[in-house]
Amino acid sequence: MKNILLPTDFSENSLNAINYALEFFKGNSCNFYILNVQKSSDFLSADLVTAAPEASVYEAIADDNKQQLMDLIKPYKLQFIHENYSFKPIFDFDNLVNAINETLAAHKIDLIIMGTNGTTNAREILFGSNTIQVIRKIKCPVFVIPEGYKFSNIENVLFSTFRSEDFNSVGIKILKEIIKRYQPKVTVMELNNNPITADDKKDDARVKSVLKDINYNFSTVNRVPAAMAISTVTQLLHIDFHAMFLDEEESFLERFIFGSERTKMSYASSVPLLILHK
Q: Are residues 123 and 211 in the same domain?
A: no
pLDDT tens sequence across 163-193: 655 667 788 999 999 999 999 999 999 887 6
Last residue of a domain, one of 102, 125, 145: 145
For residues 173 and 136, state if they share a domain. Answer: no
Q: Are residues 28 and 132 in the same domain?
A: yes
Q: Do 175 and 96 sit in the same domain of this protein?
A: no
The band of 22, judged by pLDDT with boundaries at 50, 70 and 90, is very high
Q: What counts of helices (H) and strands (E) characterise the chain?
A: 9, 10
pLDDT for 192-231, tens place per residue?
766 555 555 556 777 888 888 899 999 888 878 888 888 8
Q: Clarify whether residues 10 and 117 are in a common domain.
A: yes
195 assigned to some structural domain: yes
Same domain, 236 and 163: yes
Domain-located, residue 150:
no
The 217-222 sheet, strands edge to edge: 85-93, 30-38, 2-7, 111-115, 142-145, 273-276, 241-245, 156-162, 185-192, 217-222
> How far is 135 from 139, CA to CA, in rounded Å?
8
Q: Is residue 87 part of a domain?
A: yes
* CA dist 272 → 94, 163, 184 (Å): 27, 23, 15
Question: 129 near 260, Cβ under 8 Å?
Answer: no
CATH for 259: 3.40.50.620
* 237 domain residue, yes or no: yes
Same domain, 170 and 88: no
Residue 151 lies inside a defined structural domain of this protein: no
CA distance 62 to 175: 36
110 and 179 housed in the same domain = no
DSSP for residue 184 = -
Task: Render 101-148 in DSSP notation, one character per residue.
Answer: HHHHHHHT--EEEEE----SSGGGSSS-HHHHHHHHH--S-EEEEPTT
Last residue of a domain, one of 145, 171, 197: 145
| Residue 245 domain-assigned (yes or no) | yes
Query: Other C-beta atoms within 10 Å of 16: how many?
Result: 19
Q: pTM of the entire structure?
A: 0.86
**Sequence-ordered list of residues with C-beta below 8 angstroms from that of 89, at least 6 positions apart, any chain:** 34, 36, 66, 69, 70, 72, 73
> How many domains is the chain partitioned into structurally?
2
**Whether residues 39 and 100 fall in one domain:** yes
Same domain, 166 and 227: yes
Domain boundary among 145, 176, 206: 145
Do 171 and 62 fall into the same domain? no
- Cα distance between residue 166 and residue 71, in whole Å: 44
pLDDT at 194: 64
pLDDT of residue 57: 65
**Residue 141 domain boundaries:** 2-145
- Residues 201, 247 share a domain: yes
79-88, 103-112, 155-164, range with the lowest pLDDT:
155-164
Write out pLDDT tens, residues 116-146.
Answer: 864 344 333 446 678 888 988 899 999 999 9
